[in-house]
Amino acid sequence: MESLFKRWVILSDSTMRKKYEAYIKSTDAKIAAFLEFDVDRGLGLAAEVGKGGELEGVPFAVKDIIAVRGFRLTCGSKILENFVSPYTATAVEKLIAKGGVMVGKTNLDEFGMGSSTDNSALGKTNNPWDTERVCGGSSGGSAAAVAAGMVPFALGSDTGGSVRQPAAFCGVYGLKPTYGAVSRYGLVAYASSLEVIGVCARSVGIARTVFDIMKGQDEKDQSSLNSGTDAPEPEAGVIGVLGGNLGLDPAVDRAYRATIDFYRSKGFEIREINLSMADYYVPVYYTIATAEASANLARYTGIRYGYRPGYAENPEELTRKARSEGFGNEVKLRILLGTYVLRSGFQDQYYQRAQRLRQAIRADFDRAFTRADVILMPVFPTQAFLRGQGGLDQFQQKLADRFTTAANLAGLPALSFPAAVSDGLPAGMQFLAPAFGEARLFDIVRLYEEHFPCPQPPSCKPEWS
Ligand code: GLN
């Protein structure tokens, strides 16, 4: 355990702390992963409870959609730009109780909606491998902060891939736990039935330790639960893989094949599986996610907290102005879509149909896991894309969520990992396991990590990382 974080015990020593803060200052000037950074405040939170814990003196960061007392909770939105959280999320509280020092809040796509972090109303975050490229999203600031060696791990939330995809773009590990395995108390809701707090990490061991600390039932989140068994997971022997044309960019396709070859050479049986519902992941995800978002975001009225327009004649106008001035375009689009699919008389056609398909998607995975212990698939069809013209537009980004959304729709755990570096950019793969099969995921990815350790962007190699 000690060796995992040893080099990262930075904040118990004043010389190291100075070096660290100087590194963050110069590095984050280029990357812009943090929306807020304050070591003193982080140490203050830890000092109250965390003496002697296994994370003592270790910095970590939190996506700015997860509450930490005394820090802002902007959700990357103008509507919450000045909102300071009066309480701390359970997952974060557990890490602080182990001595972890929450040093800052990271940038994200507004309310978690997007795949690039460019949908943040509060600035753009650059990919540490190539600052012309996006860092992925929506937990892009968290992945970029880990990749740049600014923290050993950072929390994110994964509703449709938002931990795994930026982790893949930045070349770090990204865990999306089983639905309910980690309390959502303190996670601002986007699509409640799909999302879970996860972690971007520098190594498999770190991801595992952080998950073990965070997990477990919480009376403040009625959908959280314990795994039910402490029995050791049987090791995976059969890996399910996808056949046919997956529409991947050449570098991602090569990485997928090379990863399969690696595991075959390690004695795993590789079995092609047929996920017959795959064409439905994206439409079902966007129907359910936008429906839930339209309900969850109804609370931002400009009345009790958040952005308030300068002048309004009456409460109705106040709310209208607060929402039209406070939300960005992607958020508005999704609220409109969600309201549309929930319209009375149309629920059967869209929302309820999507729910039935979601059941079928779950059943499809149940069947797949009778044939394979884990499933290996790409995270995203491309590597980190360029901003603007050479990149992906909002619609293409949504279509590209076809590999990540599956785990959220089925509630399954998934772990993405840096499988290769090609043309100077990382390419990520992910394993999926049956519910509460996180240990199986850590074990199998650990094997890969032993042979191909986490790559580091050439320009970001501080002494502790
Ligand atoms: N790309 C997905 C979306 O835009 C990811 C969302 C997420 O996981 N928060 O909805």
For atom 4 of ligand 1, the residue with the nearest CA is 114
Is 12 part of the annotated catalytic residue set? no
User: Which of 85, 116, 138, 224 is an active site residue?
Assistant: 138
Average pLDDT over residues 237-242: 97
Residue 199: strand pairing partners: 155, 175
Mean pLDDT, rounded, of the chain? 96
At residue 326, the pLDDT reads: 97
**Model confidence pTM above 0.85:** yes
Is 398 part of the annotated catalytic residue set? no
Render pLDDT for 403-457 as a digit per residue (tens, 0 to 9).
Answer: 999 999 999 999 999 999 999 999 999 999 999 999 999 999 999 999 999 999 9
Name which CATH class applies to 3-235+382-451.
alpha beta
Per the rule left: phi > 0, alpha: psi between -120 and 50, beta: everything else, 420 is beta
At residue 3, the pLDDT reads: 72
Average pLDDT over residues 147-161: 98
Average pLDDT over residues 80-106: 97
At residue 119, the pLDDT reads: 98
Which helix (H) or strand (E) is 2 found in, with range?
A: helix 2-5
CB under 8 Å to 114, separation ≥6 — which residues? 137, 138, 330, 394, 397
Tokens matching residue 444: 């199998």
Q: What is the DSSP letter of 48?
A: T
The residue among 151, 135, 125 whose CA lies nearest residue 62 is 151
- 76 in contact with ligand 1, CB cutoff 6 A: no
Query: 147 pLDDT exceeds 60?
Result: yes
Distance (Å, whole) CA 239 – CA 236:
7
Average pLDDT over residues 256-277: 97
Distance (Å, whole) CA 410 – CA 346:
24
- 142 in contact with ligand 1, CB cutoff 6 A: no
Max Cα-Cα span within the chain:
71
Average pLDDT over residues 225-251: 86
Average pLDDT over residues 340-355: 93
At residue 229, the pLDDT reads: 66
Render pLDDT for 376-399 as a digit per residue (tens, 0 to 9).
Answer: 999 999 999 999 889 999 999 999
Q: Which of 108, 109, 284, 297 to mutate to test ligand 1, by most ligand atoms within 8 A of the CB atom?
A: 109
At residue 127, the pLDDT reads: 98
Is 78 part of the annotated catalytic residue set? no
Query: Quick one: pLDDT band at residue 1, thresholds 50, 70, 90?
Result: very low
User: Which of 115, 162, 224, 465 is an active site residue?
Assistant: 162
At residue 347, the pLDDT reads: 87
Give the per-residue SS3 of 281-344. HHHHHHHHHHHHHHHHHHHCCCCCCCCCCCCCCCHHHHHHHHHHHHCCHHHHHHHHHHHHHHCC
The pairing of beta strand 130-134 with beta strand 153-158 = unpaired
